[in-house]
Amino acid sequence: MDLTLSYETWEKAEKPVFSIDNETKGAFNVLSWAMEHYGDDIVYACSFGAESMPLIDLMMRVRSNVRLVFLDTGLHFKETHEVIQKVKDRYPGLEIQLMQPELTVEEQAEQYGENLWDRKPDQCCHLRKIVPLERALAGATAWISGLRRSQSPTRQFTQFINRDERFHSIKICPLIHWSWKDVWSYIKEHDLPYNILHDRGYPSIGCAPCTRPVAKGEDIRAGRWFGLQKTECGLHGGSPQKE
């Protein structure tokens, strides 16, 4: 009998319960369980945002050969690529796979018109993020995400382990109990690399055309898709809602 907790076995499989330690608020226990339970069938979809830094560090404490993918939309800030290099330098054994969309930015402009992100951002995210993540998750039973409950109302019911309806997978979210302050305390305490744009008013960093700095006191995600009726790229459309 297959005892793996998967999208298909969700109803019947036993769900682990994790203790919440003081240092990592359960994150280390969740990662240890996930890496052992899924072996090579787990992928970390890393944005290289602030939350990614403690997550990578904790993962490397559990196991050094983690499959990490980055959705390389072709529209990221150069500073984001710089922090990827810094992470590679810090963890030489870490393999980072850049997932590119089928179309280059120029090909997308030819087929769909210039600046699709301004006119149809959902379609742009679908082409440049969702389809590449579907490819990255093909064959994997579970994926890891750095979602935190306090990031936004749409994330407040996220659990450590979630049945992901969007990607027909299991989504592991070790940082659900972390605050923004917790993330930065860990980064500073462990002297981790981070995207320099965080020091320039960008708490949440996505593609350059859809990200602006925020003013002091503004919501940390206020700079994403500013002026558009959009708050999520669609990767977390299956986030749990209140029952």
> Where does this chain bind ligand SF4 (CB under 6 A)?
73, 75, 117, 121, 124-125, 128-129, 206-207, 209-210, 233
| One-letter-per-residue 3-state SS of 46-84 | CCCCCCHHHHHHHHHHHCCCCEEEEECCCCECHHHHHHH
The contacts of residue 223 (CB under 8 Å, 6+ apart) are 201, 202, 203, 204, 211, 212, 213, 214
Closer by beta carbon to ligand SF4, 121 or else 240: 121
CA 160 – CA 145 distance, rounded (Å): 10
3-state secondary structure of 159: coil
Least distance in angstroms from the C-beta of 7 to ligand SF4: 25
| Residue least distant from ligand SF4 (Cβ) | 207
Could you list the beta-strand ranges (E) of the chain: 42-45, 67-71, 95-99, 142-144, 161-164, 169-172
Least distance in angstroms from the C-beta of 205 to ligand SF4: 10
Pairing mode, strands 169-172 and 161-164? antiparallel
Closer by beta carbon to ligand SF4, 80 or else 239: 80
Least distance in angstroms from the C-beta of 179 to ligand SF4: 25
Establish whether 46 is a catalytic residue. Answer: no
Closer by beta carbon to ligand SF4, 173 or else 210: 210
Pairing mode, strands 67-71 and 142-144? unpaired
CA 29 to mean position of chain CA atoms: 19
Angstrom distances, CA of residue 79 to CA of 83, 193, 223: 6, 12, 17
Q: Is 124 annotated as a binding residue?
A: yes
Catalytic residue (choose from 5, 176, 187, 233): 233
- Count the Cβ atoms, other than its own, within 10 Å of residue 109: 13
Least distance in angstroms from the C-beta of 209 to ligand SF4: 5
Q: How many residues does the chain have?
A: 243
Least distance in angstroms from the C-beta of 211 to ligand SF4: 8
Closer by beta carbon to ligand SF4, 54 or else 121: 121
Q: Is 46 annotated as a binding residue?
A: no
Closer by beta carbon to ligand SF4, 185 or else 231: 231
Annotated binding site for [4Fe-4S] cluster: 124-125, 207, 210
Q: Could you list the active site residues?
A: 233
Annotated binding site: 124-125, 207, 210
